[in-house]
Structure 1
Amino acid sequence: MKKYILSLLLLFTFVSNAQIQRVEPPFWWSGMNLSEVQIMFYGKNIAQNDVSVSNGIVIKNIKKTENPNYVFVTIDTKNVATQNFVFTFKNGKKSFTQNYSLKARRDNSKNRKSYDSSDVIYLIMPDRFANGNPNNDSTNNTNEKGNRTNPGGRHGGDIEGIIKNLDYIKELGATALWPTPLCEDNDETYSYHGYGQSDVYKMDSRYGTNEDYVRLSAELHKRGMKNIMDYVTNHWGWKHWMYNDLPTYDWIHQFPGYSQSNYKMTTQFDKNASKIDAKNCMDGWFVPSMPDLNQSNPLVLNYLTQNAIWWIEYADLDGFRVDTYSYNDKEGISKWTKAITDEYPHFNIVGEVWMHNQAQMSYWQKDSKIGAIESYNSYLPSVMDFTLHDAIGNVFNENNQSWDKGMIQVYDNFVNDFLYPNPNNLLVFVENHDTGRFNEIYKNDFKKYQMAMTLIATIRGIPQLYYGSEIGMNGDKGKGDADIRKDFPGGWDGDSNNAFTKQGRTPEQQKFFDFSSKLFTWRKSAAVIHSGKTTHYIPENNVYVYFRYNEQQTVMVVINNNPEKQTIKTKRFNENIQNFKSGKDVITDKSYDLKDEIEIDGKSALILELQ
């Protein structure tokens, strides 16, 4: 009889415990700055229970909402040692338990070094980079199955494929990796880009497991490289598990239901903007399949903050790139950003602020004087230099300089650096996964590629490369996003062209790669580029000259966007040349006498280390 009763009790405990379907975050750490952690328990009618916890852990708050399937329990972990403890849920005589853990942090986790201007970031679309494990191309728990014949479908690239090709990325000269989102995106179609996430605590099974992602970080760190997570605060996907059972009505923005964003980010600070326009920008949905998260709801903001910190600590991350940063509730995203940088003081975060005016972009960088006009501080360390990208998209086809054409556009971009609190922490790029492909715009013109890469490798800021540019990959955005996100050649068994190896590259691919690798490998140790000062000179005859310098070194950069050979009189640059006699080009090793003049071929660039 006793055995029978015991069996019933065990069965009851099992059934009751199954009531908890999710616990998020699934565990936490001892010794965190964010010591009051709000744990979300999800399960059928779980809010009907009283909650207690063992081991003297202090419950600071229990929050229940209009949805009885959720309860949010805030515990205080300050000065609490690493340990396991137990939550008890009780409803009358019925009760069940849930184990929870405080884990030990990595040594000096708080002071982890992030990416900065000494780095070169390599951006990849994981689904299109390399297929290291064909067995996970389609998985039972995801809707869209692998189909490489569909340009907009799942092609099978994964974390294992990234790990297998890290040495290629390192050989290129890149020091940090930015994959587009790897968390689960369970849309039925077009899920490969990952920006419509359906579970933000789990890697997409078609990419691998959470453990695989931790291993990716470890493999990067073995090579002295960094792992940057693409984080999405503004929205989730409509297949997110919460969407059909929201914790609160205002977890997402509802009008009621769906309303499209007007995409006018200027309404966030325009003193003349109507309230409805500002609301529709900030609260409107990015697209119909991406419910817009309400960061002004403290539960949502807490959830996103803890999730971001959880990933940093769990996967040993080195930085974030944040998607559609300026579409968030601006007060909420400011609190989110500050909480992360309070936890990790050296952690870098670059926000996608896709605007076309430096004053407007600078509003979003930490300690902006423009933001301070209305007492706003985003606390965002870095923004993306889209105005430079805009100039690069046409300048190298402008052979003749005029008041606003040719290299003067690039010069004028840097004229406005005074608007930024920290221009050295801007992300500079010629393209990314959402823009036109550089080698498509310029028809694989190698000389124009050399000029563009020379520019982003030697100016202030953090250069970002988009996968495949270094082998001449192109793609027409007019044909759709899939064309600018093609599979990297050699990433799949059976590919006729394997550009990951020297033996497998075509002569044209090798030419692009050799130049890129030499340029960015040189940059790795060029402290004068990482942190030096800049003096630039007004372009003449479509030739742009600037100097990067510190107390130890001076580098002279000459970019001739004129199709004709130009002779540069060096006297004009005495302010920077001073007593230097010659300059050695870092690409060709050729020396140039600085006494009177320098000759430079049409559509070419020089990077001269002055001697």
Structure 2
Amino acid sequence: MIFIPRALIDAVHARGMKIIQDAVYNHVGSYHWFFLDKPTKDWFHEWPTYTNTTYKEQPLFDAYAAQKDYKQMADGWFTKQMPDLNQSNPYVANFLIQHALWTVEKFGIDGWRIDTYAYNDLAFMNRCNKALLDEYPKLSIFGETWVHGVINQAYFAENNLNIPFKSNQPSVTDFQTNLYGILPAVNEGFGWTSGVNKLYTTLAQDILYKDPMKLVLFLDNHDLSRFYTQVGENLDKMKVGLRWLLTCRGVPQMYYGTEILMAGATHPNDGYVRRDFPGGWSGDTQNKFTAAGRTTQENEIHTLVTKLANFRLKSSAIKTGKFMQYVPQDGLYVYFRYDANQTVMCVMNTSDKAKDFIFNDYEERTKGFTKGTDVVSGKIFDATTKHSIAPMHMLVLHLGK
């Protein structure tokens, strides 16, 4: 069961903020009373001997999959300490759905992040999603899908695929634009299938999703090494990543501490990426909540995030507008966010050399505009002249007349 102080949620709502509940339907801990005192003998997926999931999602949609592989992926335990709930048991399914509905009603939850989505019984998940959205149509729901491949990921979301099973999950965590997008964009050299071309190619496959604007973007999370660590604590790469996160299509998700350059790898264990945020408690030797407690570089990143996030907050083009990208040229990648009221031009240079760019090269989106204002620095770029962008740098330009 969960216990969330209603006063906390009411205070968050009073600030115009929302609360996202992290829901785990797939499993419980081995000391949960469900497992210690099972309501029925088939409350969990039981095997003759311990059987772990394969963590391979392909058998769920593979036209050539063996049933053995399908069953082990879906019904195998995530770890020995995480007994796998049998959602095909109607009592289990009804309990989980009723608990979900009760939680939203009781606590005023605004969104639902579903853990280990691919490991659940997918027919059950469709039923649960429908029950929640029928009752609370404005609820935001997205599933964690740590998979590899755009088709693999699209399978678990509402999609345009002509396949027997159709997911009704509105959104998923977009691991593809992370693992095969922004990370290689800043860490790999430019090539036909490498560097920023991977980001471009991944986004070009959005045709598979019913609504790619709902996909949840991120630089890192509680299961991944922190982005700052993955880019070798390179400040320029960090800035490019943040500018991309807050302007690309989709819904940005920022892991705590990213805004102050928290570092850490998942080895030897995940605890190194889940350290406490420095400050906020009596006795803390550092307080990163204040500018005085942060280093010069930390304040630089904090200011960047603040400016970009506040611009996004008021930007209809970024929040609800369309997305257009151009084929990368020698490490230079340009995309636009736009609607009838606003156009934002994003110029990303992933090369180790400065690159020139001309507004007229992107006339389909820049025609009629005379200038672009850097939303971070305030610098104005004349749309009629050639400009240079520094190596490993990104500009977010608000176009004007």
TM-score bin, normalised by smaller chain: over 0.9
Choose from 205, 211, 224 the match for 1:435.
Answer: 224
Aligned-partner Cα distance in 1 for 2:232–2:218: 18
* AA matched with 1:291: P
Aligned-partner Cα distance in 1 for 2:160–2:192: 29
Aligned-partner Cα distance in 2 for 1:475–1:526: 33
Q: Does 1:416 align with 2:208?
A: no
Choose from 215, 221, 234 the match for 1:426.
Answer: 215
Match of 1:466 in 2: 255
Choose from 501, 504, 512 the match for 2:290.
Answer: 501
Aligned-partner Cα distance in 2 for 1:349–1:568: 40
8 Å contact from structure 1 (residues 363, 369) kept in 2: no
Shift of 1:357: 0.9
* AA matched with 1:264: K
Shift of 1:610: 0.7
Q: Secondary structure at the match of 1:243?
A: helix
Shift of 1:596: 3.2
Shift of 1:236: 0.6
* AA matched with 1:396: V
Q: Secondary structure at the match of 1:607?
A: strand
Q: Does 1:395 align with 2:185?
A: yes
Match of 1:275 in 2: 67
Q: Secondary structure at the match of 2:323?
A: strand
Choose from 345, 361, 370 the match for 1:556.
Answer: 345
Shift of 1:406: 1.7
Aligned-partner Cα distance in 1 for 2:160–2:356: 42
Match of 1:537 in 2: 326
Give the alignment of 1:165-244 within 5 angstroms. 200=1, 202-203=2-3, 210=4, 212=5, 214-244=6-36
Question: Which structure would you say has the larger Rg?
Answer: 1
* AA matched with 1:429: F
Shift of 1:443: 2.7
Identity %: 39
Aligned-partner Cα distance in 2 for 1:595–1:508: 34
Per-residue CA shift, 1:222-254, capped at 9, x if unaligned? 110000000001001111112122111111000
Normalized against structure 2, the TM-score is what?
Answer: 0.97
Aligned-partner Cα distance in 1 for 2:355–2:148: 32
Q: Which has the higher contact order (CA 8 A, sep 6+)?
A: 1
Per-residue CA shift, 1:167-208, capped at 9, x if unaligned? xxxxxxxxxxxxxxxxxxxxxxxxxxxxxxxxx2x43xxxxx
Q: 1:525 to 1:351 in 2, by over 3 A?
A: same
Match of 1:588 in 2: 377
8 Å contact from structure 1 (residues 568, 598) kept in 2: yes
Shift of 1:548: 1.1
Q: Secondary structure at the match of 2:397?
A: strand
Give the alignment of 1:251-290 within 5 angstroms. 251-256=43-48, 258-290=50-82
Choose from 559, 564, 568 the match for 2:357.
Answer: 568
8 Å contact from structure 1 (residues 401, 407) kept in 2: yes
Aligned-partner Cα distance in 2 for 1:245–1:609: 60
Aligned-partner Cα distance in 1 for 2:257–2:184: 20
8 Å contact from structure 1 (residues 437, 484) kept in 2: yes
Normalized against structure 1, the TM-score is what?
Answer: 0.64
Shift of 1:257: 5.6
Shift of 1:373: 1.8
Report how many aligned residue pairs link the two structures.
399
Give the alignment of 1:122-161 within 5 angstroms. none
Aligned-partner Cα distance in 1 for 2:169–2:330: 39
Q: Does 1:603 align with 2:395?
A: no
* AA matched with 1:339: A
Q: Secondary structure at the match of 1:540?
A: coil
Choose from 109, 116, 119 the match for 1:327.
Answer: 119
Aligned-partner Cα distance in 1 for 2:289–2:223: 24
Aligned-partner Cα distance in 1 for 2:338–2:276: 40
Aligned-partner Cα distance in 2 for 1:324–1:508: 35
Shift of 1:492: 3.1
* AA matched with 1:535: M
8 Å contact from structure 2 (residues 223, 270) kept in 1: yes
Choose from 348, 352, 365 the match for 2:144.
Answer: 352
Aligned-partner Cα distance in 2 for 1:493–1:507: 24
8 Å contact from structure 1 (residues 334, 379) kept in 2: yes
Aligned-partner Cα distance in 1 for 2:83–2:190: 46
Shift of 1:434: 0.3
Q: Does 1:295 align with 2:65?
A: no
| Structure 1 segments of 4+ aligned residues over 2 angstroms from their partners | 391-395
8 Å contact from structure 2 (residues 334, 347) kept in 1: yes
8 Å contact from structure 1 (residues 261, 284) kept in 2: yes
Q: Does 1:313 align with 2:134?
A: no
Aligned-partner Cα distance in 1 for 2:36–2:187: 51
Aligned-partner Cα distance in 1 for 2:355–2:136: 49
* AA matched with 2:147: M
Per-residue CA shift, 1:469-504, capped at 9, x if unaligned? 110100021221011111111133222210011222
* AA matched with 2:86: N
Shift of 1:606: 0.7
Aligned-partner Cα distance in 2 for 1:515–1:564: 23
8 Å contact from structure 2 (residues 51, 77) kept in 1: yes
Per-residue CA shift, 1:89-132, capped at 9, x if unaligned? xxxxxxxxxxxxxxxxxxxxxxxxxxxxxxxxxxxxxxxxxxxx
Q: Secondary structure at the match of 2:254?
A: strand
Q: Secondary structure at the match of 2:337?
A: strand
8 Å contact from structure 1 (residues 337, 378) kept in 2: no
Q: Does 1:526 align with 2:315?
A: yes
Whichever structure has more helix as a proportion of its residues is: 2
8 Å contact from structure 1 (residues 281, 327) kept in 2: yes
Q: Secondary structure at the match of 1:539?
A: coil
8 Å contact from structure 1 (residues 268, 330) kept in 2: no
Shift of 1:378: 2.3
Shift of 1:307: 0.7
Moved more, 483-492 or 319-328: 483-492
Aligned-partner Cα distance in 2 for 1:466–1:442: 16
Q: Does 1:369 align with 2:160?
A: yes
* AA matched with 2:319: H
Whichever structure has more strand as a proportion of its residues is: 1
Q: Secondary structure at the match of 1:477?
A: coil
Aligned-partner Cα distance in 2 for 1:419–1:378: 13
